[in-house]
Amino acid sequence: MRPFAYALAVGLATVQLASAALAADITGAGATFPFPVYSKWAEAYRKETGSGLNYQSIGSGGGIKQIQAKTVDFGATDAPLKPEQLTKDGLVQFPTVMGGVVPVVNIPGIEPGKLKLTGDVLADIYAGKIAKWSDPRIAKLNDGLKLPDANITPVYRSDASGTTNIFTTYLSQVSEPWKKEYGAATTISWPVGQGGKGNEGVTATVKQVPNAIGYVESAYAKQNKLSYALLQNKAGKYPQPDDKAFQAAAASADWKATPGFGISLTNQPGEEAWPITAATFILVHKDAADPAKSAAVLKFFDWAYKNGDKLATDLDYVPLPDNVVELIHQEWKDVKGKDGKPVFNM
Amino acid sequence: MPALTESIALGRTRSATARKAPSRSLDTLFRTCSYGAALLVLLVLAGILGSILYGGWPAFREFGFGFLTSSAWNVGTEQYGALVAVIGTVASAFLALLIGVPVSLGIAVYLTQLCPGWARKPVAMTIELLAAVPSIIYGMWGLFVFAPLFARYIQIPVSNLVEGMPIVGTLFYARVPSGVGVFTAGIILAIMIVPFIASIARDMLDQIPTVLRESAYGIGCTTWEVVRHVLVPQAAVSIIGAIMLGLGRALGETMAVTFVVGNANRLSASIFDPSSTIASRIANEFNEADGLQLNALMALGCILFVITFVVLIIARLLTRRVQAA
């Protein structure tokens, strides 16, 4: 692994040198999920301030590796690092935007938002224990809905993905058998169904295959007008998967509990909370090797918190609540230059 | 202008002198260069093998021989096995040959023996254009266009027909009737390898001396007999070489297969069911892999290397036998 990481680092360093020669842009790499909103923000930011951002969406794992190797100014990941890991690598972690993961379905004759599922039923569908839509356990949740006597085709992400991590984290929380047998990870050994590559692949497969169920970022579900299912949350309610429900999940979470904000937003207790909500995170080094660059990174995200909400909601992302942003500003004081002073002053 | 003429003239004289007295040193230089080029390939190959062996070693050490025979692939519990991917790789490549080889040979024979002169060029060019299509285009076409049609008109009717039958029922029943799976991957791969095999086979058939063919016709052979008993045996060695080249491509093809193979880590007796290949698994997971998972992916790459190598050895043995016979 080491030589590979090294080769990657050298390759990236070359790219970075080349772009540094062009302009004093900040560079980041990582998660693909927030890529659309980061590029929109970067575009608007450049128009306003003249400084740019170069973001490579290479996946969360890649983002973590590259910030560890110090080849980028910031890393981005959908799966937050644990506090121990953050301390070990000397990193500061903070969330930027949130999104929800939505189960999408293609059942002939069923309209969007009509099908209701609970977490453990969803887990059993993906575990192959519930094989038909006409299963009594699904019928019990959906009184009056005519469900076909057809095999369910569960669709999952074939590529390793943060979305899968969020989805299986949720399944592990709501289903003991799932947790024991499959657990939560970026790739799972799915017992049934079929894999699609990327959100696009899952979307396309669900659209094409009758009686399929899949899971995608809410933005994809909305933009592709996919039929979605409602999920029962911890409070026993079936909220609509929209900004309000995602924000409710964020509001009821205890952000202060974990350093680095690495809390899971899945299965939050609020009445309105959508059960599969997640934030995406940024990683920067505590001891800034280049204080000006680190300050530029924080300045960019500070700008985004203040001015980026509209751009984010346009793309179906959910901005963070104000109280969380305040906590993040506190956290930023840990990013210090060689003189021991915070690189970014409010 | 006069200077140009002068230089051309000079150049001519120089090349003329070179022709008269061939330079020894140039010859040595040329020999060394070509020797170096050949050696470079070996070095690169050894380097690749070395690095994937080094990268995959922890996985081999952890699971031992069980890595080859286990069908588990679970990132959460760090259990890895290559069996499903190996079978998927071999099965899809085999299906590709099964479909692709007869078609390619048919094309080659048609183009060299039966095709009217005016149609030769356009048909040959069209076939070769197929080779220029990027593999991801094949993958997208396979997923968005071919798979739905295949599911609707072949997979679902066949599945309904054979459901419950012994043997046929297990082989052709699709649990996930979405149009993707090992069989679809085989078809897409077949389309991808046809231009390779067809154009090499055509070149080989073209090079067979006309006198051979004409004498066969002269003693009253039919076209079929000429092809069967004269042309094919003459070009057999090269045709096997062409098929092996196609097989190599089918074994290693990544993007197109990732799109249409269904990406499931399960053993299934049905060729209509989703599975995965070594290349598709690496493509899917490499980005986010870490630790033992990365080692296991490297080990998979190593196994693919060995499979391809074994295939080449078999090809060598085959050609030797054909040559001897």
CA dihedral B249, B254, B256, B258 (to 10 degrees): 140
3-state secondary structure string, A253-267?
CCHHHCHHHCCCCCC
Runs of H (alpha helix) within chain B: 2-20, 24-63, 66-69, 83-109, 117-132, 135-141, 147-150, 156-162, 168-172, 182-206, 210-218, 223-226, 232-252, 255-260, 278-285, 291-324
pLDDT digits (tens, 9 = 90+) for B153-182: 888 888 888 887 887 777 888 777 788 889
Measured CA to CA, the distance from residue A170 to residue A173 in angstroms comes to: 5
CB pairs under 8 A between A and B: 108
Of A174, A161, A192, A159, give the one whose Cα is nearest residue A123: A174
Q: Is A201 on the interface with B (CB under 8 A)?
A: yes
Inter-residue contact B142 to B259 (CB < 8 Å): yes
**B186, B90 contact by CB (below 8 A):** no
B265 contact residues in A (CB cutoff 8 A): 189-190
Contacts of residue B114, Cβ cutoff 8 Å, sequence gap at least 6: B223
For the CA atoms of chain B, what is the radius of gyration? 25
Contact B176 A58 (CB under 8 A): no
A185 CB within 8 Å of a chain B CB: yes
Under the banding of pLDDT at 50, 70 and 90, the label for residue A18 is very low
d(CA A337, CA B264): 48
Interval A326-340: pLDDT, tens: 889 888 888 888 777
Read off the pLDDT band of B106 (50, 70, 90).
very high
What is the C-alpha separation between A252 and B60, in angstroms, rounded? 46
User: In this predicted model, what pLDDT tens digit does every residue of B248-274 receive, in sequence order?
Assistant: 889 989 889 998 888 888 888 888 888
Long-range contacts of B34-38 (CB under 8 A, 24+ apart): none
Give A139-149 pLDDT, tens digit per residue: 988 888 888 88
In which element (H, E) is residue A332 found? helix A322-332
Task: For residue B19, name the pLDDT band (cuts at 50, 70, 90).
Answer: low
CA-based nearest residue in chain A for residue B272: A194
| Percentage helix, strand, coil for chain A under 3-state DSSP, each rounded to 5 | 45, 20, 35
Q: From the CA of B278, how many Å to the nearest CA of chain A?
A: 13
Question: In sequence order, what are the residues at sequence separation of 6 or more whose Cβ sits closer than 8 angstroms to the Cβ of residue B48?
Answer: B305
Residues 6+ apart with CB under 8 A from B104: B193, B194, B196, B197, B198, B201, B242, B246
By C-alpha distance, which of A137, A136, A214, A213 is closest to A175? A137
DSSP B287: G
Q: What is the mean pLDDT of chain B?
A: 86
A205 touches chain B (CB under 8 A): yes
Which contacts of A179-184 are long-range, i.e. CB under 8 A and separated by 24 or more positions? A181/A127, A182/A127, A182/B74, A182/B76, A183/B74, A183/B76, A183/B77, A184/B76
Under DSSP, the state recorded for B143 is: I
Among A61, A153, A161, beta carbon nearest to B176: A153
* Residue A153 in contact with partner chain B when CB distance is under 8 A: yes
CA-wise closest residue to B135 among B195, B192, B199, B196: B192
Q: How far apart are CA A290 and CA A192, in angstroms?
A: 49
The conformation of residue B288, written as its DSSP 8-state character, comes to G
Q: Which of A158, A164, A206 to mutate to test the interface with B (most CBs of B within 10 A)?
A: A158
Q: Which residue has the tokens 């295949």?
A: B150
- Neighbour tally for B18: CB within 10 Å: 11
Residues of A in contact with B142 (CB under 8 A): none
Kindly report the pTM of this predicted structure.
0.78
For residue B2, what are the contacts with CB-CB under 8 A and spacing of at least 6? none
Look at residue A44 in the predicted model and tell me its pLDDT: 92
User: What is the rounded distance in angstroms from the CA atom of residue B112 to the CA atom of residue B108?
Assistant: 6
Q: Chain-wide mean pLDDT for chain A?
A: 84
In which band, very low, low, confident or very high, does the pLDDT at A346 lie, cut at 50, 70 and 90?
low
Residue B52 has, within 13 A of its CA and on its CB side, a CA count of 17
Name the residue among A1, A188, A195 with its Cβ closest to that of B76.
A188
pLDDT band at B197 (very low <50, low <70, confident <90, very high): very high
Predicted confidence (pLDDT) at residue A6 exceeds the cutoff of 70: no
Nearest to A184 among B76, B147, B287 (CB): B76
Considering CB atoms only, which of A59, A201, A209 is closest to B287?
A: A59
Position B206, amino acid:
D
Q: Give the whole-angstrom CA distance, residue A328 versus residue A325.
A: 5
What is the pLDDT, as a whole number, of residue A200? 81
Give percent above pLDDT 90 in chain B.
34
Locate all alpha helices (DSSP H) within A130-270, ordered by sequence. Answer: 136-141, 162-174, 176-181, 198-208, 218-223, 243-252
Cα separation, B5 vs B251, whole angstroms = 56
C-beta contacts of B206-215 below 8 A and 24+ residues apart? B206/B112, B207/B235, B208/B234, B208/B235
Confidence of residue A270 (pLDDT cuts 50, 70, 90): confident
Longest CA pairwise span in chain B (Å): 88
d(CA B76, CA B54): 24
- Contact status of A302 with chain B (Cβ, < 8 Å): no
Please, are residues B255 and B136 in contact by the beta-carbon 8 Å criterion? yes
Residues of B in contact with A197 (CB under 8 A): 258-259, 263, 284
Instruction: Please tell me which of the candidates B76, B263, B288 has its beta carbon nearest to residue A59.
Output: B288
Q: Does A177 touch chain B (CB under 8 A)?
A: no
